[in-house]
Structure 1
Amino acid sequence: MAISIILLFLPLIFFSSFSSSTIDRLSGASSLSVEHADDVLTSPDGVFSAGFFPVGDNAYCFAIWFSEPYSEGNRTIVWMANRDEPVNGRKSELSLRKSGNVIITDAGRLTVWSTDTVSESSVFLYLHENGNLILQNSEGGVLWQSFDSPTDTLLPQQLLTKDMQLVSSRSQGNYSSGFYKLYFDNDNVLRLLYGGPEITVYWPDPELMSWEASRSTFNSSRIAFLDSLGYFSSSDNFTFMSADYGERVQRILKLDFDGNIRLYSRKYRMDKWTVSWQAMSQPCRIHGTCGPNSICSYVPHFGRKCSCLPGFKIRDRTDWSLGCVQEFNLTCTRNETGFLKLSNVEFFGYDYGFFANYTFGINWLDCSSTVVKQLNRTYTKHQENASLKFVVRFAMVVGSVELGVIFILWCFFIRTHRNSSAELKKATQGFSKEIGRGAGGVVYRGMLSDHRIAAVKRLNDAYQGEAEFQAEVSTIGKLNHMNLTEMWGYCAEGKHRLLVYKYMEHGSLAEQLSSNSLGWEKRFDIAVGTAKGLAYLHEECLEWVLHCDVKPQNILLDSNYQPKVSDFGLSRPLKRGSQANKGFSKIRGTRGYMAPEWVFNLPITSKVDVYSYGMVLLEMISGKCPAEEIENRRVVTWVREKMKQATEMSSWIEMIIDPKLEGKYDKGRMEILFEVALKCVAEDRDARPTMSQVVEMLLHQENDSELV
C-alpha cells in the first residue's frame, strides 16, 4: 500500500517542481532577464525552451533549444534572435512592450533586436509545442513568429519559402552567421551557396542543368516542407525521405557550419543526434570548406581532412574556413618559379581551361618594369627545313610588329581610360538615377562629359558578372544594326564592370506595355523592327549570334519608338552555317519565354530565339505576361482555347486583344501577327519559321495594307 501511494504522488511532485521553474508565456509589460536562469519560456509539452543562451565569455543570445540535452550540458539550438549581436551578461533582457513590440536590449541601453510589431489590443508571447515562438494578439492574430525567420535549422511543420533562407553558423563553437546559405534561387530551384570571398552555388551540382539534377524551374511557388515523419518535399521537385522514416522521432534539418545540409534524428530525448540524410556525400565538393590555399581530402572512418598546400601554413587552427597563408616571401630578385605537381588533386571550381599535351615555360618577375619576361627555353631539335625556317622567322617578325602596335594601343587605352569608373560615377551623380534593373545588374541614367545622355549598366559583383560582361562586350562590339542597341564604351577597373549605352528615351517595351502609350501601329512597327534585329543576328552579321533571352525587358525604345534589341549577357556565338550549338552548360533565358528545347535537352538552335519572339508577340497582342498563368493555364494554351471557343476570327480576336487598345486596331495586321506568333511558339522547333521568314511575312502584310 505504501508503494502505491509513493507511485501515485511522484507525477504530482515532478509537475510541481517543473512548473515552479518555468514560464509558459509573457503577457502585458513583462520581460525575461539574462541574469535569471529561471527566466525561460517552455512549450506546453516541455520539449522546447526559449531564453538567453551563453555563446561566449559574458555573451548571450536569445534562443530556442530542445529542453533535454543530447549530452551533459550540451543543448541543441534550433533558433537564435540576435546571433550576430550577443548581449552582455548583466542587465540585458527580452521585453514585451504594451505597444505590441518585443525587443532585446543590451545592458539595459542599446536595442539589438526587435519584432517591429504594433498592436492596439493586448498581446502575449508563447512557445508552441512544435518549437515556434509566437507573438499573438487577443483576437488570435499572429503578429510575428520565429518560423518566419529561421537561422540554420528547419523544424518539422516549418515552411521554407522564397523570402527565407537558412544560414550556417560560423564554426563549431561560433553561432554567428557563416558562409553558407540554403535558399530558393530566382529560377525557382532550391540551392546551396557559398558566400565567402567568392560566391559559388555548389548544390545541386553546377555542372548539371536543373533538369539533369531532377529539378524543375517552372513552379514559382518556391516552398519546401519537412513533415514529422521525415519526408521532405520542395516545389522544384526535390524530395528525400529519412533513413528512419516514421513516428515518435525528433528531427531537425540543419545547414551545418561545414556547408552540408543534414537531417538529424533521435528517438529518445536524451539520445545523441544521428544523421539520417545529408545533401553532400562528398564533403570536399563543398566550395570553401577548407578555405583558400588548402587541400581537402576524404579519409574513411574519419571524414573530411584539411591540409595546407606546400609552402603555406594554417591561418587559424580553430577555423579551417580561414584557410592557409604563405610561408615564403615574394621578392624582386630573379627567383625562378615553376609548377609543383600534386598527385590526385583537382582545383574544383577554379578550372580556366584544359590544355592537353602542352608544355609551359618557366617565368620570372622583373619588378622594376612590372612585365613578365620569358626565359629562353631549350627544346629537343628536329631536322630543320630551310623553307619552313624562313616562314617561321617571317612570322616572328610580323608577330613582333603586331605586338608592338598592340602595346602602343594598349598604352593609349590605359592613358585615356585611367579614371573611367570615377568619370561614370560623376556622370550618373553617384549612381543615383536608376532607370532599370535585372538579374545581371542595375542601369543608371547619366550625362557624359560631351553632354550625351547615356545609360550606364553596372554589373553585379556575383560570380557570373565577369562572364556576362565579357559576353556583352565581345558580342555588341561586332554588331551594327539599327534595331540593335548601341554601346558607346565600357569600364573594367578592378572589380568595376560598367557598360555604357545610348540612352533610350522610352525605356523598355515591358514598361510601355504596362502603360497606355502604345497604340496598335506602334506595336506592329516594334514587332517588325525587333524581327529585323534578330534576323540580322541569326543570318546576316559576320559571326552569327543567339541572343538567348528575348523578352520585352530586353527590347528598348528610342525617341521614335524604334526598337533596339539589348542585353547580350546570355548571348552565344554560332558558327556560320551551323545548325545547332551543343556548348551550353546550363539553361539560359527567362521563365515563360524559354523554348522547350532548354528543358528537354534538345540541340539549341536559332529557333529558341524565334520561340521567345513569338511569346513577345503574344504579350504585345493580349497584354498577358507569359511568366504568369491565366486561369491556371499558360498564355499559349489560353490563346488556343479561346480560338476553339470562338465561332469566327473576329470574335476570337476580341476575346484575346489587350483591353488597353480599346478596340482600336487593324484587323488584317492583327490576324497576320497572330498567325506569325502561333507559328513561332510551335512546340516542334522545325515547324517554326526563321526570323528572316518572319520579317517577310510581316512586311508582306504591311505592303498589302498599303496597296489596299
Structure 2
Amino acid sequence: MLSPLPYGSTTLNLTTPLTLVWMANRNQPVNGKLSKISLLDSGNIFLVDADQVTTWSSNTASDAPVELHLRDDGNLVLREPQGTILWQSFDFPTDTLLPGQPLTRFTQLVSSRSHTNHSSGFYKLLFDNNNILSLIYDGPDVSSTYWPPPWLLSWQAGRFNYNNSRVAVLSSLGDFTSSDNYKFSSDDHGKVMPRRLTLDSDGNVRVYSRNEALKKWYISWQFIFDTCTVHGICGANSTCSYDPKRGTRCSCLPGYRVKNHSDWSSGCEPLFDLTCIGNESTFLEMQGVEFYGYDHIFHPNSTYMNCVDLCLQDCNCKGFQYKYDGEYSTCFTKIQLLNGRYSPLYKGTISLKLPKNNNFSEEKSMKADDHVCSVVHHKDFVRKSANRFVSFSLWFATALGALEMICLSMIWGFFIRTRQKSSADQQGYHFAAVGIRKYSYSELKKATKGFSQEIGRGAGGVVYKGILSDKRHAAIKRLNEAKQGEGEFLAEVSIIGRLNHMNLIEMWGYCAEGKHRLLVYGHMENGTLAENLSSNTLDWSKRYNIALGIARVLAYLHEECLEWILHCDIKPQNILLDANYQPKVSDFGLCKLLNRNKLQKSPRFSMIRGTRGYMAPEWVYNLPITSKVDVYSYGIVVLEMITGKGPRTGVGSIDGEESYNGSPVAWVKDKKSGTCWLEQIIDPAIQTNYDECKMELLARVALDCVEENKDLRPSMSQVVEMLQTHEN
C-alpha cells in the first residue's frame, strides 16, 4: 500500500512495511507520537510537532469550504467544492514520481540520504538549462552531472534540447516519456499495476512495480545499470567496482583509509604526507582504474615519463591518468581523485603519487577496505557511438592548417575523451557492466585444449569443457558457422548478458572474431537433467524443486523481460544442475529474442525450432507461435521427470503391462482414466518414497501444460503459483 502522507503525520506508522512516496517536511522530522496534522477552516494545512511548533504548512487560504482528498492515483489534494485545487502533493515531489505525476521545469526529485534517513541526499533528477533530463551529484564539496554520460553531447546521447515543455511522466502501463526524447518501457509494461519511479539514495533512478499477490515491490527498470558511473558513490580517493551478483563495492586507494565505514560517500583520507620535493615521491601504477574529471593538465601524445615529470613538478598533483592504445597516448594529471571506478575493459592506468619507501600496495588496500555499499539489478544505459563526430573533428583540425597548433589541444582533448568511451562501447564496454568479458579465439582454443573435450552437442553448436586463465571451469559453446554480422551478434549477446535469474545459466563471456562465434558459460557440476534421470540420482523432492525452478525462469523470460524471449527447445538436455541440484536453463538461441510488438505483427516463424517429442503442435500445423510453445515443452519435461519416460523411448513396461507407446502424454492420460493412476506412472526409482500430494499436483499441472489447444494451457507464471502453493 502506498503512503502519500506527510512524513511525521500521526496517521502514518513508520514501523509498518509501507512505501513512502511523498514527505512534507523531510529535513525537519517531527515526533511521531505527539505531532499532528490539521486542516483549518481558513483553507490551510499545517503540521505541528510535540511542542506545538509548526514545522510545515501548505500556505494556502480559501473563503470557501475545503476538503483534503487522497486520490486513487496517490495525489493528496486540497480543493474547494467546485473543484479548484489549492494545493496538491504532485506539485511538490520528494524522491518519487507516481504514474501520471509530471516532472516539470518547476520540480525536481531529490534522493534520500540513505535507506533509513529520509532527509535530502546528494542526488537530483531535473531538467537542466539545456532542457535535458539529467542526474546531478550535488555533494558537500563538488557538483557534477553524471547522466546522460557527460562525455557525450546531447545529440550523441539521443537527446533533443530544443524543446520548451520540460516535462517527463511515467504512465500506469509502465511507459516513460520525456520532452528531450528520452523514453523507455519497463520490463513488465502493458498492464496497469501499482508503480513508482524513485531516485534512490545511491543516485540511480528505478521504476518499481508491485506484485499484489506477494505484496512486494520489484525493480522493472532502472536508468543506470553500472552504479559505479554514479558520481560520489564511493567518495574521494577510492575506487568503485561493480558485479551483478555482489553489487557495488568501494575500496580505498593504496595509502588511504576509509573515513566513515557507514558512509562511503565521505571517501578516504591519506595515511601519508607528501612533500613538494620531487625525488621524495614515487608512483604506484594501477591497471584498469579510471578517475573521471578534475584534470589539471592534459597532454596528448605524451610519454609515460613525461607524465611522471609533470606530476612531480606540481605540488598539488595527486597522480595521473595515462593511456596508450598503440596509436595515441594521453596524459591527465589529477589534483583531485574523484569518481574512481575499476573497469576491466579500460586499457589505461592511474599512477598514484606516494612517498618513497612506502609499503602501500593495491592488494593490501583492497583487502583492508573492500566493502559492499549497495546492491542493484537489471538494465543499463547504452551509450551511443561518436565515431562520425570524431572523424569530422580530425578532418576539421587538419583543414585548419594555420590554426592547427592553437586548436590542437582543444580538439584532441575532446577527441580522446570521446574516443575513450566510444571505442570502449565497440569493444563491449557495457558488457563489462554486466560482468561479460570478450575473449579472443586463441584464448578459448587454449582453454579447451584445442576443443578436445566435448560435453554436449545441439543444433546450434558443440559445447566443450574448458579451464579459463583465471582457473574457472567453463562450458564453451562453439556456435555453428555464423551468417550473423558481428554487430547483430553483440547486440543480442548484450541482451542475454543482462538477464539475471538464479535458474538461468550465467554467461561469462563471448568471442566474435572473424567467422568464429563462441559463448562462455559456467560449468555445472551435476551435468544435465537428462543424465541425472537416466542414472536415477534424483529423489522426488529434487524433481519437484527442479520443476518449480524451471517454471520460475520461464516465467521470467516470458513475462519479465523487455524482449520477449522464447526458448523454443526446452528438454532435459538443456537443463543443467548445479552443485545443489538447482536447475539452470541453458542453450536458448540468439535468434529467439523477439520484440513483443514485432511479434504481434508477424506471429509466424520462418522455420521449425525445437526437438521432436518436445515440440508443441503449433510448430507442426504452422500456427502462430507464442510463449505457449515453451509451456508445452515444459509439460513434457515434467512428465518425463515424474515417469522416468521420455518421448520416443519405446521401452519399458510396468508390472507386465503393455509396452510403453513412446508418448508420455498419451500414456499418462491412459493411466489417469483408471484407479490408483499416480502409483502406475511414478518412476520406479522413487515409487516407494514420495509425497503423494505434491507429485499428483505436479502431474496434473504437467497435463494442463500439454493441452493440444494452446489457449487451454496455463502461463508459466500461473504454473509457478500452482506449484508454490505446495512448495513447503
TM range (shorter): 0.3 to 0.5
Structure (1 or 2) with the larger CA radius of gyration: 1
The TM-score normalised by the length of structure 1 is 0.43
Q: Which has the higher contact order (CA 8 A, sep 6+)?
A: 2
